[in-house]
A and B are shown apart, each in its own frame.
Chain A
Amino acid sequence: MSSIKNPIFEKGINLTRRRFVQGIAMGGVFAGMGLGSRSLLAAALKHQELQTLRGTDFNLTISEQAVNFTGVPRIATTVNGSLPAPILRWREGDTVTLRVTNLLRETSSIHWHGLILPSAMDGVPDIANDFPGIRPGETFTYRFPVRQSGTYWYHSHSGFQEQTGLYGSIVIDPREPDPVTYDRDYVVMLSDWTDEDPMDVYRKLKKLSHYYNFNERTQADLMKDINVRGLAGTWNDRKMWNRMRMSQRDLSDVTGYTYTFLMNGQTPANGWQGLFRKGEKIRLRFINGSAMTFFDVRIPGLKMRVVAADGQNVQPVSVDEFRLGVAETYDVIVEPEDDRAYTIFAQDIARSGYTRGTLTPNPGLTAAIPELDPVPNLEHGDMGMNVMDHGQHQMADGMTMPGMDHGQHQMSDGTAMPGMAHDQHQMSDGKTMAGMDHGQHQMSDGMAMPGMAHDQHQMADGMNMQEMRLEKAGSGGMKPVSLKPNPSDFSARPVQHASTEYGPHVDMRADAPQYRLDDPGVGLRGNGRRVLTYADLRNLRTTHDQPDPDRELELHLTGNMGRYMWSIDGVKHSDAEPLRWKLGERLRITFVNDTMMNHPMHLHGMWSDLETGDNNFLPRKHTVVVQPGSRISYRVTVDAAGGWAYHCHLLYHMLGMFRTVIVA
């Protein structure tokens, strides 16, 4: 059934899809619409270089522009006629002035994603202070000091303009010498393009939520499963999902069926190209400027040394692959040792398509393009089930989580236990974990805290491991124990759902959401490659001087996939009161994902200091991916007064899964 898993390589019958996914070789921004000869020339170049604007003073014009990525001419929303928008190159410490003129027939805006700046400059209409958006024909002048360095991006925060092309990258050179050395520097902006009107995409998802999912399991998968697991095994495997009316292939709402995935604005058929000389160190600044697409990125033949996440330096970690959530950025260093071409391969999380580029010493060379990975299935952990915790029947509500009793079965045949596998591995590699050798049940308690395994030093100085174990044993060994709230631990308290989470608008609640920092995520588990996880991220500089949180805030990501409704704590943005935070406080925010999708949560105006295991080296992010059925925590120093947006960065989720934050 490779044709199902891998529609691109389907022969013959599906030319339409092939064209959609691959795009056309000459795709990109076309001249027309009264533009001058300069853009005509640019469009004629196969490997169109992205325009870079440098300095402190910028004029940006938002307008409509004819493009053609698939063979069908379409109208995009662009900045200075470019898709992606021009790269803005700033210097830390400068004050930049950006005059943004809106030539569209509707209100527009530009948000500087990840930038620490005054609310009035943040560019979210009606939420940022005194900013109603940029009306047609108007020019708005943004002016703010640049207080950070690294890789960021900018995009529209109005309507669906981001989907139609209004996104570009920002590179800020540090004032102090860069801790990262490199000979070449490329931005690699990944994005998703559709020929459809984004409103039509949204309508279709509301009418038929799996409209774009052409990787559902079929007859062929069933036969294969029955061959491998037998009839009973297959039934047991699928029973819970079918009972819950959930698809294990619900990986991405919008796929390569409509999307052409772009790398620096180039279609996969065309392919972006970056040149190098053998032995050089190349810095690649990956930015996910997609509306809806998570990308899994690798460069076969090259190790990638991750040196920054969301623009902020991290302790270098060498990986084969990383997952780039929507709106996240990673900077990596690669050092090709051979005089040959390498493919930068970015497949979407649903394995419905890819985009690609080439690093090459010679413009004439390309490298092989890998096949898409097999389409993965979501696993029990992705539903927020503690797969080890088979004794519990805390799901009185049969709709929420039937089938907990299959945990044991799952365990015995060793399938669907991602978290478990990782943790066991980590435990067995020599770390002392007295008390963990008491068999499965004992372990299952320990496993309610997967963070534990990779966080021993923290435990050593923060918590008493022995005490915790005894406390758990004392509780009868089966129930999660309420540990004393200690903001610096990975306490897995029993999860509580607000009353607003119950109703027709929420189809799932995770009752045993796990910290899964070391879980690379669905489709990347055990793939034989070293995949970056959040557990790998440690700030380059110590964060030990940052204060402990003053208070904790738990937010649940909720939705109903079938009805295509998204919310936080079961309340959508238009019905929600703003979150009111106190200027100067330090917050600890814990997300619980009560859905089966990844949600990249983006807080404007303030850093998200992600708890990845070592509180002395908290990496700073602006966008944090909350894996399906998981929980994750970060800290926020509330140091920016005004109105801020806080939302899921999936474009078709954010209308509902959104909060206004007011800091005063």
Chain B
Amino acid sequence: MIKKTAIAVTALALSTAVMASGEDDPLLYKVMIDKLEVRSTDGPDPLVLDADAWIGYDLNKFWFKTEVEVTDGRIEEAEVQFLYSRAIAPFWDFQAGWRHDIRPKPERDYLALGFKGLAPYLFEVDAGLFIGESGQVGARLDAEYEYLFTQKLILSPEIEMNFYSKDDEEVGVGSGLSDMELGLRLRYEIQREFAPYIGVNWTKKFGQTADFARDEGEDTSDVQFVIGIRAWF
């Protein structure tokens, strides 16, 4: 059902988006690998990808977002989102579509609704609400800031929080604030499009989510050093 609704939303959006064009507003695309990094942990070091891509016009776009974590050649976590994005305010886009969690098993589908944009004081914000089957509701807030040491050496603190309305033991998610991630990455933009970085990432699971993790013998909190690249085209 969720899947159908999401597809219907995107299909509807498609018809609007292709109508808008003009020589000032060409069809463009952008692929952004925000993070492709190795994180140092006690065990095998996971490889993490956080990327998105869009295609479209000034005010109407299709977005694809993904987060993947691979440890020891095994995909531990994988999430994809297909969204229609419409500019609704000078600095804000409304996004709606389908979120699909491939890993951990079992797979989960959500209707995704969110706002992405630039908040006052130049915080980049991506806030999403996810309505799943069986009434599960999730929310995610991601905020990032850029501090320029120089024109090319940029420090970016980032926070991500996930909330869920219900326990979902199969995928290890508990109700309330389930997890939080604080990152601090220092990148050097060799070009605007390409920057290696180093950083530190702190993750913590809370409440029932933490209990589920403990039951699985996982850490509930970890500080990781990261090294990676950021690239777009």
Q: Which residues of A approach B to under 8 Å, CB–CB?
A: 4, 202-204, 206-208, 211, 214-220, 242-245, 399, 402, 503-508, 560, 562-566, 572-575, 655-656
Contact = CB atoms under 8 A, between A and B. Distances in A.
B28 to A, nearest CB: 6
A242 B122 contact: yes
A506 B90 contact: yes
Contacts of A215: 151
B24 A573 contact: yes
B90 to A, nearest CB: 4
A219 B150 contact: yes
A207 B30 contact: yes
Contact of B58 (A208, A242, A563): A563
27 contacts: A4-B150, A202-B26, A203-B26, A207-B28, A207-B30, A208-B192, A211-B192, A215-B151, A216-B148, A216-B151, A218-B148, A218-B150, A245-B118, A245-B120, A399-B91, A504-B87, A504-B89, A505-B90, A507-B90, A562-B90, A564-B58, A565-B58, A572-B24, A573-B24, A574-B23, A655-B23, A656-B24
Nearest to B22: A574
Given A242-B122, A245-B122, A566-B24, A399 B151 contact: no
Interface string B193-233: 00000000000000000000000000000000000000010
Given A219-B147, A560-B90, A243 B28 contact: no
Interface in B153-173: none
A89 B167 CA distance: 82
Interface of B: 22-26, 28, 30, 58-59, 87-92, 118-122, 147-152, 192, 232
Nearest to A206: B28
Contacts of B24: 565-566, 572-574, 655-656
7 smallest CB-CB distances across A and B, nearest first, come from: A655-B24, A504-B87, A574-B22, A507-B90, A656-B24, A218-B148, A214-B151
A504 B22 contact: no
A126 B48 CA distance: 52
> What is the interface of chain A mostly: helix, strand, loop, or mixed?
loop
Contacts of A503: 89-90
Contacts of B232: 207
Given A565-B58, A656-B24, A219 B149 contact: yes
Contacts of B149: 218-219
Given A245-B119, A503-B90, 14 more contacts: A4-B150, A203-B26, A203-B28, A217-B148, A218-B148, A218-B150, A219-B147, A505-B59, A562-B90, A562-B91, A563-B58, A565-B25, A566-B24, A572-B25
Contacts of A220: 150
A202 B28 CA distance: 11
A204 B29 CA distance: 11
A204 B89 CA distance: 22
B59 A504 contact: yes
B137 to A, nearest CB: 28
Nearest to A398: B120
Contact of B148 (A206, A219, A505, A508): A219
Contacts of A399: 89-91
A508 B92 CA distance: 14
Contacts of A4: 150-151
A476 B98 CA distance: 56
B151 A507 contact: no
A206 B119 CA distance: 19
Contacts of B58: 206, 505, 563-565
Given A244-B120, A245-B122, A504 B148 contact: no
> What is the interface of chain B mostly: helix, strand, loop, or mixed?
loop
Contact of A242 (B30, B120, B152, B192): B120
A336 B25 CA distance: 50
B51 to A, nearest CB: 15
Contacts of A655: 22-24
Given A211-B192, A504-B88, A505-B59, A572 B22 contact: yes
Given A208-B192, A216-B151, A218-B151, A242 B121 contact: yes
Contact of B90 (A214, A242, A243, A504): A504
B24 to A, nearest CB: 3
Contacts of A507: 90-91
Contacts of A563: 58-59, 87, 90
A564 B90 CA distance: 11
Contacts of B25: 565, 572, 574, 656
B224 to A, nearest CB: 26
Nearest to B89: A504
B94 to A, nearest CB: 10
B139 to A, nearest CB: 24
B122 to A, nearest CB: 6
Contacts of B90: 399, 503-508, 560, 562-563
Contacts of A242: 120-122
User: Looking at B26, B91, B147, which has the most chain A CB atoms within 10 Å of its CB?
Assistant: B91
B21 to A, nearest CB: 8
A505 B149 CA distance: 31
Contacts of A505: 58-59, 87, 90
Contacts of B122: 242, 245
Contacts of A211: 192
Given A4-B151, A563-B87, A243 B22 contact: no
A208 B92 CA distance: 15
Nearest to A507: B90
Contacts of B118: 245, 562
Contacts of B119: 245
A574 B91 CA distance: 23
A655 B28 CA distance: 16
A504 B115 CA distance: 13
B76 to A, nearest CB: 32
Contacts of B152: 214
Contacts of B147: 219
B187 to A, nearest CB: 14
Contacts of B91: 245, 399, 507, 562
A655 B92 CA distance: 23
A269 B151 CA distance: 25
A206 B59 CA distance: 11
A215 B148 CA distance: 11
B52 to A, nearest CB: 13
A235 to B, nearest CB: 11
B59 A243 contact: no
A220 B148 CA distance: 9
B186 to A, nearest CB: 12
A319 B182 CA distance: 56
Nearest to B146: A216
Contacts of B151: 4, 214-216, 218
Nearest to A220: B150
A163 B151 CA distance: 26
A402 B59 CA distance: 25
Nearest to B119: A245
A565 B24 CA distance: 8
Contacts of A565: 24-25, 58
